[in-house]
Structure 1
Amino acid sequence: MTDLSTIRDEALGAVQRAADLAALDAARVAALGKKGSVTGLMKTLGGLAPDQRKEFGARVNQLKGEIEVALEARKSALSASALAAKLSNERVDVSLPARPEFASAREGTLHPVGQVMDELAAIFGEMGFTWADGPDIEDDWHNFTALNIPPDHPARQMQDTFYLPPRADGTPIVLRTHTSPVQARTMLDELVQKMLHDGGSLRVIVPGRTFRIDSDATHTPMFHQVEGLVLDRTTHMGHLKGCLVDFCRAFFEVDDLPLRFRPSYFPFTEPSAEVDIGCSWKDGELRIGAGDSWLEILGSGMVHPNVIRNCGLDPAVYQGFAFGMGIDRIAMLKYGIPDLRSFFDSDLRWLRHYGFSALESVR
């Protein structure tokens, strides 16, 4: 019995003193291995009388179980400590580029639409614009009525608009045909109206997906637009022109890019103007900049008084300007992409060619 007690103390003491997994395994072998102290006790059972064998065997088995529990507990503690030390000492630099041999296969690229959205956010952000967002599925009032589009306007017809099943109360629901409904939602916001009432200025851009029934090399049923809205008490057409001239020259990276504003018509602006940028077609290649030709890229105008009124504001007090353009279209123009349908083909070869590194600075 004295040997049993001594072996227990020595074995459990060795387990607790083990400083690492190697030392712990040595303590296990010393106690429970083929030549271990506890194993040696088991070998003596055959020389004992039957009544002594039963009692002593039970005590040896109890000791063996106690040592195994201690070994498992110590192993868990040492493993946790080793993992904590490893995590503390090792660092993974996630900003490192892919290894050259794997870069072509593993390095992802940004889609041109995402790249252009980032560029829009950077350019207009410097002008004080903030980003606004809204739902892709709109009700008839926000998509049409609030924007001064009457019930008999051609834009409401089935050949242009994706109509969805109406709500339970009969409200017509559509896939939004433009991002302008977000302008209406923004102007209707109580905090925005309070800010305007206190003399503040509203400046938002609204990039997002839009939907129309159209499909060819330059049109797709789903495409991307960006709308811009400025609203306060003093903004006028001169501010609109200055804003768009600065944007176009910054976006296309042509400091002396010529622009012209042509009178046009949009139901939600008055007066309205389409904006053209200068270009040339020398040798059949489009070059943006000074030239003998013009290219239309966006529509704009002063927010129609009816739109301001529909959104709960007084057009005699507030005025502003709005503009809109196709994100896919300006991406095609800037980066020389010939077919809009390629944007949505999910072709990795196309994306590797026209995509952008995620680590590149936008501007």
Structure 2
Amino acid sequence: MRLTVACLLLAYAVALSSSATVIENGMPILWGHTGTQLTDLPIENGVVNPDPWHFLHRLTLYRLMIAATDPYMGTMGPNPTDSPMWGLPLELAWMLTSGRLADPTAETTCGHQTGDTMCISTKSFWGCANYFVSAMPFLSAAQQGLMGPEIQVQLQIPVGVQDYCTTYADCSASFPDAMSKWDAFFKDLVTPADPTLPENERKDAVLGLFWAAQSSSIRSSSGCNARRNLFSSTELSFSNSWLNSAEYVAAARFQSNLENSVRFITPLPSRILLEGDVAPNIPDLSETENHILQIFNWMQSIDSLLAGRLVPTWQNAMCSVRTREEGRKMLENLLLDSTYATSSFLSIVTGMALSC
């Protein structure tokens, strides 16, 4: 990756920011410093060899995937940022600016202000979990020919680190369900299984394949869970809620385009949560950050009271194009509208599930 002095200075300024920022000039942060073609990534002996533990390299993987799939995303809408893949680089941007990609043990300066601000620590739960929704789809997209004919990719891995797959063959052997779902998504983009579907149903089908692949990748990241113990119990609880939230948006087939993703990612906590942080009364977080943390806590409490049945009930309710449209609106109200009655959410979801 060709890094300029300006890029390094900008990265340093971002790392010092007092609040998490995911967008600049209408694009994910540092987007202008990513590569726009495969040759911007390291290549050794004809094999593309990016370093996914460098923020700009990982962000470049997303940029290349978005560019490669955009010609097939017409059903998503007329705007160039309507692809559901935009949510992925924005989520990575939030992890960077909120400090979640840095070494949580502070045994190294990886990701810290005093070290390499573009470094993604292999010890970070967040950097680990995100690996599975960046490396896997990129390897699949390359295998399916979206990056060009016969492209070979071998991802770099830090010395002494063993628990990450780095090639398409590796990932397919270790995580066959996730990789087969990414393959199905990319194949269907290029050659739809049913090209006669009405536009709204085709859009729903594409989103269904996308979220099936992303959800399977997140489940494949279970090996990252031990890293959560390096954070406070409050941050650990939040990470549980974050993982659960993926189940809700996946079932509703949320269109994670740039505009929608900014609205839902911006309220996430702009720093790592500490012991003693209790929403909605965390003084250095905004009202919207406190609200979304309070909602996450409420959903965990309700799920506990229902003996873990809230997510399955929601998934059962998301049984048609119509109910998924309603579900997306309900999630928007619940997470972004502080006046929305949580009791109505539970009763509506239960009623929807019974009617399916």
Q: TM-score, normalised by structure 1?
A: 0.25
- Tell which structure's C-alpha radius of gyration is larger: 1
Q: More helix per residue: 1 or 2?
A: 2
Alignment TM-score, normalising by the size of structure 2 = 0.25
* Larger RCO, structures 1/2 (Cα 8 Å, 6+ apart): 2
